[in-house]
Amino acid sequence: MNVVKNHARWIPVIIWMGLIFYLSHQPAEQSSELSAGVMEMLLNVLVVIFPIHEEIPIIHFLIRKAAHFFAYFVLGILVVHALSKSLKPIWKGSVIALVICVLYAITDEVHQLFIPGRSGEVRDVLLDSVGAAVGLSVYLLLNRKSQ
């Protein structure tokens, strides 16, 4: 039963990786439309706080980069959680989790080279890796306090 439970921990990882792949597989035009929709929603919220009445290009850029960070932040948490019961000490699982996340980020950017209008960016791999590392760190901090 414990083996099944440990394998079940990988289901969210696979689903999340699938979501990242799906979003990366969108042609540039579709991807831009999605981030424009998110930007519009964000601007509607910000207008309540700040008097913003025009589209600001930096916000669009920041939303796209925040999406990279967030996607791999979550992936880092999911992967280290999946490994946490099978690898002791936890730091070994963390190192392996980070390697998995970085390798997935690299393959994701290579994958985008074959999508119309998209490109593979080294800076996105770096941002993804930082997101994963921060996610791992948050998991480790919360896990340490709960023990």
Cis geometry, peptide bond prior to residue 57 (ω within 30 degrees of 0): no
CA atoms within 13 A on the CB side of 53: 1
Q: pLDDT by residue (tens digit) across 43-53? A: 667 667 777 66
| Closest of 147, 127, 8, 23 to residue 78, by C-alpha | 8
- Cα gap 31→23, rounded to integer Å: 7
Task: Specify the number of domains making up the chain.
Answer: 1
Predicted model pTM: 0.82
Which of the 8 DSSP states describes residue 21?
H
What's CA 7's distance to the chain center, in Å? 22
Q: pLDDT by residue (tens digit) across 67-82? A: 889 999 999 999 999 9
Which of the 8 DSSP states describes residue 51?
-
Question: Can you give the residue range of the structural domain that contains 11?
Answer: 2-146
139 pLDDT tier (thresholds 50, 70, 90): very high
| Closest of 108, 107, 106, 76 to residue 94, by C-alpha | 76
